[in-house]
Amino acid sequence: MGKLDGKVALISGGSSGIGLATARLFLDQGARVALLARSIERGGQALQQLQVPASQGIFIACDVRSQVECQQAVEQAVGAFGRLDILFNNAGVIYIERSVLDTSEDQWNETLGVSLTGTYNLSRCAIPEIAKAGGGTIINNSSVFGLVAGQGVAAYCAAKGGVIMLTKAMALDHAGDGIRVNCICPGSVDTPMLQSEMEILGGQESMRPAFAARHPLNRISTPEEIARAVLFLACDDSSFITGAALPVDGGRSVW
Ligand SMILES: NC(=O)c1ccc[n+]([C@@H]2O[C@H](COP(=O)([O-])OP(=O)(O)OC[C@H]3O[C@@H](n4cnc5c(N)ncnc54)[C@H](OP(=O)(O)O)[C@@H]3O)[C@@H](O)[C@H]2O)c1
């Protein structure tokens, strides 16, 4: 028996990295999943990798910065699967080597728009459906940079710090609807996002040990390790947890 049997989950940024690993784990645990992201091509590739029939997994093109697109995506997911129980607000972008002085207005707006406004947009559209299903869970993807600051990631820190407080506010507001709202705060995770950061900073091979050394466990995590924390917060194993910001960071936020 799966931990998510009968449940329907919507995963933003589901075509890559942490979102894709979470989709795979949710499917293994019996859920049906709707993956949201912008690129239809990468969405199709993700479905192929998951080898999932349309009755269990679909891709919906959606830019989470648009509330209209979020509303259409929620309607499409509920139209396909009949209900919505779980929302993983996971889409995010990062610009590195950017203090406030180096951050353009477009970069600021995109970073805040995807992580923070995107979480608001999708939650606003999904909460009535989750409530209709009798309650459920929302998991937001913050970052270790929502807990402690990093150099050269000013907009990202602002966005991810905002996600933590939005999580707590939503947990209070929707406890009465039977909806638990939590967030995860990952350290460095081996995904295309981190790989392109390492490329910019001098190449993956040379940067990997330096990134690993930022974590007391002295390594980068796999997307699957993050997905397991998302599953914990999505299912009844965490039935008395709401409003939490869970570090999944190999101890990085400790020192
Ligand atoms: N990797 C890390 O080290 C790390 C650490 C802490 C937190 N995180 C957080 O984890 C989340 C997932 O990151 P990842 O590392 O898995 O990154 P990734 O592999 O780059 O995946 C990002 C996903 O977000 C989607 N996306 C980007 N902009 C979007 C938009 N406007 N609307 C809808 N979808 C959008 C991308 O698809 P399209 O481009 O096709 O839209 C893609 O599916 C992010 O919130 C990130 O900040 C990552």
Chain segment 102-124, per-residue pLDDT in tens: 999 999 999 999 999 999 999 99
Helix (H/G/I), strand (E/B), else coil: 140? strand
The response to whether residue 212 sits with its C-beta less than 6 Å from ligand 1 reads no
From the list 184, 54, 159, 142, the residue with the least C-alpha distance to 98 is 159
Topology classification of domain 8-186+223-248: Rossmann fold (3.40.50)
Give the residue numbers annotated as catalytic, written as ranges.
Answer: 156
Q: Can you tell me the mean pLDDT for 171-200?
A: 98
The response to whether residue 90 sits with its C-beta less than 6 Å from ligand 1 reads yes
CA of 16 to the centre of ligand 1 (A): 7
The response to whether residue 89 sits with its C-beta less than 6 Å from ligand 1 reads no
Closest residue by CA, ligand 1 atom 25: 13
Q: What is the pLDDT of residue 86?
A: 99
Q: What is the pLDDT of residue 240?
A: 98
Q: What is the pLDDT of residue 224?
A: 98
CA of 246 to the centre of ligand 1 (A): 18
The response to whether residue 192 sits with its C-beta less than 6 Å from ligand 1 reads yes
Which of 35, 38, 207 has the most ligand 1 atoms within 8 A of CB, as the residue to mutate? 38
Are 214 and 252 a contacting pair, CB within 8 Å? yes
Q: What is the pLDDT of residue 182?
A: 99
Are 141 and 90 a contacting pair, CB within 8 Å? yes
* Number of residues in the chain: 255
CA distances from 8 to 156, 167, 207, 250 (A): 30, 21, 38, 30
| Burial class, 176, CB count within 10 angstroms (exposed 0-12 / middle 13-18 / buried 19+) | exposed
CA of 74 to the centre of ligand 1 (A): 19
Q: What is the pLDDT of residue 127?
A: 98
Per residue in 18-72, pLDDT (tens digit) is 999 999 999 999 999 999 999 999 999 999 999 999 999 999 999 999 999 999 9
The response to whether residue 227 sits with its C-beta less than 6 Å from ligand 1 reads no
What amino acid is encoded at 119 in this protein? Answer: T
CA of 91 to the centre of ligand 1 (A): 4
